[in-house]
Chains A and B, each alone.
Chain A
Amino acid sequence: MALVGPSGAGKSTLLGLVNGSVPPTAGSVQVFGADPTALRGRAQRELRARVGTVHQHLELVGQLRVVHNVNAGRLSSWPAWRAAWSLVRPQGVAEVLAALEQVGLADRVFERTERLSGGQRQRVALARLLVQQPELVLADEPASALDPVLAERALTLLAGLAADRGGALVASLHDPALALRHCTRVVGLVEGRVVLDAPAAALTVGDLADFYGAPR
């Protein structure tokens, strides 16, 4: 599913509501049949582990090596001592390498993340998601720092990742063509309200372009 709409329409807020990082001011949210803000402790963490997010500003820890930032995708299932030990002696390097291989970054696995370029960091964020193996994938502008070829690959990867586990991909996108190519359903937001909800097949690039350009 693609989320489209002008800046400030509430796309990121909507994604935040779903992964539980933004508490709703009114109403409630159901994710996999549960309210993410109502759960506590272990149950909340288990629910959150099933939802993977690629954030707009990536939210990686620059001071950590790439391997740790990718391993962070598994923190929900690791006990605290293992998380701590991994910082000293990286754990599960094989899986991390496999994930980085998929995004073409395997040679940078022990690099400090802040030394990578914007596009490379974006791919680290994707690798974190691959390791997390969520059922629902939320992506906030996952293609914004990538060139067209990489953007194409990233979205294919995200859609495939969600499909593997029988789940869905919800992505906010700025590129109408990309949205129509990779998503089956398009939802348009303006000022926090849904103003469009249609199958991608029924829309053209021109229909969507109106959403970004039109001042209201």
Chain B
Amino acid sequence: MTAVLDRPQAPPRLQRVRTRWAWGLGALAVLGWSLAGAGAFTGDVVNPAGTGQFGRFASAALSPALDGAFLRVLADSVLVTVAYAALGAALAVLLGAVGAVAVARTTWGRRRLGWTLSRGALAVPRGLHEAVWGLLLVNLLGLDPWVGVLAIGVPYGAVTAKVFADLLDEVPRGGHSALLAGGVGRVPAALYGLLPPASGGLLSYSFYRLECAVRSAVVLGLIGAGGLGYQLLLSFSSLRWEQVWSCVYALALLCLLADVGGRAVRRRVAAPRSSGDRLRRDPALTTAVLGTLAAVVWSWWYLAISPATLVADRTGEQLRYVLAAAWPPDVDGSLLSAVAAAAVDTVQMSVIAIAVATAGAVVLAGLAARPARASAGRRLAGTVVRLALLLLRAVPPPVWALVLLFVLLPGILPGALALGVYTLGVLGRLAAEATEELDPRPRAALTALGAGPVAGWLYGVLPAATGPVLAFALYRWEVAIRDTVLVGLLGAGGLGALLASAVAAFDWGAVTTVLVALVLLTAAVDLVSARARAALR
């Protein structure tokens, strides 16, 4: 008997999680395939002749146009952009709040079919980029301010609904289940057990959407809706680099304001002021919410929006005409093979973009995060990195693509890199925030036992940050696949370029085919991304 007990036990073995390794290797393979497709290993990609123009463009950064006439034009375009952004974001949050209830797992419970169908319904508006909506809506409504507002509000509303629903679903269930178990009804249980822990996330995401809406308003300007983007494109195409930089700085300033405002609101929500035994509202939060509402009302007035356009006879007629022409979709063989080739280009562009952005974000996140205690030099470095990231995401990807075309030959690569640089601006910020939100105590404990900075980072920060950062990267990949269309609309190839030419030719049957391909592609990317994130958890 003792002989059996005394037999030395086999030591436990280290087992790798197979699914994660498979995902990791798969991701590397896809990246290699994309780089090969973009000609990174073979063909010539650099255009040495353009470096002179690029130098002139870059040196104009130090001397932006500041004359009175241009500044007045600029101020006007800023106001138009802000108005579009405010109305679009307001519409999005409104649609998102309603939609979140409709697609939250909490609402559906175990009824998986209903949940899947409602999620699927969101994929259509979400699958189309704001610019695509803009392009289609212009053909319905003509040059009306509603085009800009709806083009932002509809796709953003769908994304917001999904994120709001996820935030609600990801709240730890303990408190909510306890309420339900205690006999509390579903609505009050959600109000007391789900909404309070999620409210910080919901509010900060709403402000994040407002910030994104500013950028989208600029992008819509690029396709003709007016505002800062339109001005930027005008200056760019007339080679007035000083004016381009003025526009870029104005944009960056706008984004910075939205960024700082959103962050302040988020901080306040996360750490409310102690109000002791008196019921008090936080004045800053109240100001932010009321100020935003006031901005929405002002925007309505400033853009002179009238609901009449939406119900006008001409709109209905046009809608009927386009729908009739758009169905059935064109399934001509040569079109289908063109769509397939463009879809491959689009995927490759998005993969390269997200790889560039993730690598950059991992390197910069630590620097961009605000540590609790830091030396003056560290603080300065952090501010510089944060400003650089802000500049990267303030400039819309098509503009980055135009800039990169100075030094790169046309093809997938400039589009991919433009998207990558832009996504780095967003992802770097998200990764920095994820780093800030980590529990600092494990790292502090490692420092207290004498671990060096690198080892402390490897053991105390990296393991905890990998999950959220990769999840953000995968989420941004879903966004990037939509943005590739935007870059394409302005000429970088892929499905976007195909769509632009079909719309320009009023070939509505082909437009439907491309749109269906787009929605299917984005839905497929969403699915893969969701699976990968599940494997990461």
Taking Cβ atoms with an 8 Å cutoff, the residues of A that contact B are: 19-21, 44-49, 51-53, 55, 57, 59-65, 67-68, 72-73, 75-76, 78, 80, 83-84, 87, 90, 93, 97, 106-110, 132, 134
Contact = CB atoms under 8 A, between A and B. Distances in A.
A110 B15 contact: yes
Interface stretch (B132-140, B230-238, B391-399, B463-471): B463-471
Contacts of B14: 65, 67, 90, 110
Given A53-B445, A57-B441, A61-B460, 17 more contacts: A19-B449, A21-B445, A21-B448, A49-B450, A59-B442, A59-B444, A61-B459, A72-B449, A73-B449, A75-B449, A76-B450, A83-B451, A84-B454, A87-B462, A97-B11, A107-B12, A110-B14
9 contacts: A21-B444, A45-B451, A53-B449, A59-B442, A59-B444, A61-B463, A64-B459, A72-B451, A76-B449
Nearest to A93: B11
Nearest to A129: B449
Contact of A132 (B449, B459, B466): B449
Taking chain B's interface residues, is the majority helix, strand, or loop, or is none over half, making it mixed? Answer: helix
B446 interface: yes
B371 to A, nearest CB: 14
Contacts of B448: 19-21, 48, 51, 53
A65 B16 CA distance: 11
B13 interface: yes
B329 interface: no
B458 interface: yes
Interface of B: 11-15, 441-442, 444-452, 454-456, 458-460, 462-464, 466-467
B452 A45 contact: yes
A76 B445 CA distance: 12
B237 to A, nearest CB: 49
Given A80-B455, A90-B14, A110-B12, A72 B446 contact: yes
A176 B450 CA distance: 32
A63 B467 contact: yes
Nearest to B456: A75
A63 B444 contact: no
Nearest to B14: A110
A110 B445 contact: no
Contacts of A73: 449
B464 A75 contact: no
3 tightest Cβ-Cβ pairs between the two chains A and B: A76-B450, A75-B451, A49-B450
Contacts of B450: 44-49, 75-76
Contacts of B442: 59-61
Contacts of B458: 80, 83-84, 87
Contacts of A93: 11
A84 B451 CA distance: 13
A72 B459 contact: yes
Nearest to A72: B459
A20 B450 CA distance: 10
B193 to A, nearest CB: 23
B455 A59 contact: no
Nearest to B464: A63
Contacts of B463: 61, 63-64, 68, 87
A5 B460 CA distance: 31
Nearest to A110: B14
